[in-house]
């Protein structure tokens, strides 16, 4: 006898604007999760370099001497700034990696609702722990584990609101993903302003309040979420055919290639803030623009760039000229590489103080996000389409390894910011992501036929 699975759960009936009310609950929870996460992310490197790792503060962090010794055993001796960028890279990488384990915890042990609630509680505690020097490492642990529990179980519930053949599913995921971008836009503005006016800890406290609001939204909307039960026993997994095994191996080979993109993208969340601090003219009139405000453009740019891009792809498709998946992903790498190279050219336009106008950075954010839109949804869709059905969810989780790998490498490369000139630093990152594009074109030309599947597969929505 087989118990009901998450995919077989009966969706709730109450609706708002033609969609289940549960979508509002889940999207609202995700919004506040992203407000807390991106608010924290926009400040973290600046905070570590500007205060936490300075004399009188670093000594207070419980367990930090042993933690630093462990990191430097792997990397070699690191300066304070290099240590900060490395810790940031590992933190962000793990935040994107742990949802694979959080999903398994929700599927097989606690259930999705309990695991989401646990994740929100852990993340709230983590943000509030950031208010004290002593609990910094504990805060990192809570935030990483909390993100794994929450994100590994929140997004799957969106699909469970709809029957498998419900055409509203695609729109639902688009609306859900828009909350991610909206949170990424709002958070750096609020935390940047709070940090500049009241100090780091006030901004981190706001991130904690944001996650607490998300937990309240989720708990008060329980009646509108899908009722699911855990699988009593795993069904026997069908053995992979030889073509399926080959596709799995090829997808695994794409992970380090995709990591080339995430090396550069992750650096925009990390050392880029230090570069802005050192090289961009942030004084506009009589107002000093908070550094995290530029991060907010990464939430705004997709809204601006996506509609004309979709129209352009539709125009290409109507003429039979729309590029394939590998070409699209490669184009994304090349656009991102060109955008990163644009940063290396900032010294070409400097004022008397050696600083570049802020519009140079603004142009970078909009151009780089055009590359992000070409690359990220395409790669997620490729893994979703090409992975065999019996390991589909697993392989989509495997793709997150590219984010983990790229973020960790970018953290290590952050140490080069103190060794190379700023132009050389960004040119190196441009070369890495461009290399990823070249390899993708090569793989597409050589192996694209191996990724052809027997039937259609739902296209995943990128929510990185």
pLDDT tens-digit readout, 72-85: 999 899 999 999 99
Contacts of 398 (CB under 8 A, 6+ apart): 251, 252, 255, 383
pLDDT at residue number 459: 43
What is the per-residue pLDDT for 453?
Answer: 65
SS3 280: strand
Polymer length in residues for the chain:
464
Tell me what pLDDT residue 109 has: 80
More confidently predicted of 454 and 202: 202
- Of 319 and 171, which is predicted with more confidence? 319
Given this structure, which CATH class describes domain 13-233? mainly alpha
User: In whole angstroms, what is the distance from residue 62 CA to residue 68 CA?
Assistant: 11
pLDDT digit string, tens, across residues 13-60: 566 667 788 888 888 888 888 888 888 888 899 999 989 999 999 999
CA 6 to chain centre: 25
Which range (21-25, 40-44, 336-340, 355-359) has the least confidence?
Answer: 21-25
CATH fold for the domain made of 241-450: Growth Hormone; Chain: A; (1.20.1250)
The token pair that represents 420 in the structure block: 């190379």
Question: What number is the average pLDDT over the span 356-374?
Answer: 93
Does 398 score more than 90 pLDDT? no
| Average pLDDT score, the chain | 84
Section 325-350 average pLDDT: 92
Question: Which candidate, 440, 318, 304, 273, places its Cα nearest to that of 370?
Answer: 304
Domain positions in the chain are 13-233, 241-450
Residues 6+ positions from 249 with CB-CB distance below 8 Å: none
Q: Under a CB-based contact definition with an 8 Å cutoff, are residues 203 and 195 in contact? A: yes
Tell me, what's the pLDDT at 454? 55
Cβ–Cβ < 8 Å for 8, 237: no
Per-residue pLDDT, 347: 86
Give phi and psi for 325, each to the nearest 5.
-60, -45
Output 322 or 214, whichever has higher pLDDT: 214
CA geometry: angle at 78 spanning 77 and 82, to 5°?
A: 160
This prediction's pTM: 0.83
- Structure confidence by residue, pLDDT tens digits, 416-443: 999 999 999 999 999 999 999 999 999 9
Inter-residue contact 170 to 154 (CB < 8 Å)? no
Residue 463, pLDDT above cutoff 60: no
Question: Cβ distance 460 to 156 under 8 Å?
Answer: no
Confidence of residue 457 (pLDDT cuts 50, 70, 90): very low
Q: What is the pLDDT of residues 224-274, one digit of tens each?
A: 787 655 554 555 666 878 888 888 898 899 999 999 999 999 999 899 999
Residue 281 bridge partners (DSSP): 357
The mean per-residue pLDDT over the stretch 102-127 comes to: 86
Longest Cα pair distance anywhere in the chain, in angstroms?
Answer: 77
Cβ atoms 338, 460 nearer than 8 A:
no
CA-to-CA separations, 371 to 304, 305, 445, in angstroms, rounded: 13, 10, 21
What pLDDT, on a 0 to 100 scale, did the predictor assign at position 307? 84
Query: Residue range 295-316: average pLDDT?
Result: 86
Are domains 13-233 and 241-450 of this chain identical in fold? yes
Better pLDDT: 110 or 358: 358
Q: How far apart are CA 249 and CA 243, in angstroms?
A: 10
With a cut of 90, say whether residue 61 has pLDDT above it. yes
Tell me what pLDDT residue 448 has: 74
CA distance 362 to 86: 26
Is residue 151 within 8 A of residue 99, CB to CB? The reply is: yes
Mean pLDDT of 118-129: 91
* 7-15 average pLDDT score: 53
Distances, alpha carbon 47 to alpha carbons 80, 195, 323, 422, in Å: 12, 10, 43, 21
Specify the pLDDT at position 7: 42
For the residues 136-146, what does the mean pLDDT come to?
94
């Amino acid at each position: 006898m087989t118990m009901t699975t998450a995919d077989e759960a009966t969706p709730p009936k109450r609706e708002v604007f033609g969609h289940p009310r549960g979508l509002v609950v889940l999207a609202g929870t995700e919004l506040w999760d992203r407000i807390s996460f991106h608010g924290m992310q926009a400040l973290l490197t600046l905070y570590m370099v500007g205060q936490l790792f300075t004399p009188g503060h670093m000594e207070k962090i419980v367990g930090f001497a042993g933690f630093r010794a462990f990191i430097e055993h792997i990397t070699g001796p690191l300066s304070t700034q290099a240590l900060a960028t490395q810790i940031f890279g590992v933190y962000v990488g793990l935040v994107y990696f742990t949802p694979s384990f959080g999903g398994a915890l929700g599927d097989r042990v606690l259930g999705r609702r309990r695991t989401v609630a646990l994740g929100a509680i852990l993340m709230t505690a983590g943000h509030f722990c950031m208010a004290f020097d002593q609990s910094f490492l504990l805060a990192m642990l809570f935030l990483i584990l909390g993100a794994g529990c929450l994100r590994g179980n929140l997004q799957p519930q969106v699909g469970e609101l709809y029957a498998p053949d419900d055409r509203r599913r695609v729109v639902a995921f688009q609306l859900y993903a828009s909350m991610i971008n909206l949170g990424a836009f709002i958070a750096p503005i609020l935390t940047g302003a709070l940090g500049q006016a009241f100090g780091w800890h006030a901004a981190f406290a706001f991130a904690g309040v944001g996650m607490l609001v998300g937990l309240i939204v989720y708990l008060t909307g329980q009646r509108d979420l899908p009722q699911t039960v855990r699988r009593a026993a795993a069904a026997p997994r069908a053995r992979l055919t030889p073509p399926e095994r080959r596709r799995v191996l090829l997808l695994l080979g794409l992970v380090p290639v995709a990591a080339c993109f995430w090396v550069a993208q992750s650096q925009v969340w990390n050392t880029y803030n230090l570069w802005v601090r050192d090289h961009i003219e942030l004084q506009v009139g009589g107002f000093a623009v908070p550094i995290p405000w530029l991060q907010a453009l990464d939430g705004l740019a997709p809204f601006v760039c996506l509609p004309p891009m979709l129209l352009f792809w539709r125009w290409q498709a109507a003429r039979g000229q729309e590029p394939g998946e590998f070409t699209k992903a490669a184009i994304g790498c090349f656009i991102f590489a060109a955008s990163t190279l644009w940063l290396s050219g900032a010294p070409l336009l400097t004022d008397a103080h050696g600083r570049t106008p802020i519009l140079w950075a603004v142009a970078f954010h909009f151009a780089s996000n055009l590359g992000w839109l070409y690359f990220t949804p395409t790669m997620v869709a490729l893994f979703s389409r090409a992975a065999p059905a019996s390991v589909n969810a697993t392989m989509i989780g495997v793709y997150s390894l590219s984010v983990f790998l790229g973020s960790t490498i970018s953290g290590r490369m952050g140490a080069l910011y103190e060794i190379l000139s700023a132009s050389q630093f960004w040119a190196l990152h441009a070369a890495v992501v461009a290399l990823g594009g070249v390899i993708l074109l090569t793989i597409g030309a050589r192996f694209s036929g191996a990724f052809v599947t027997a039937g259609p597969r739902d296209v995943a929505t990128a929510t990185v």
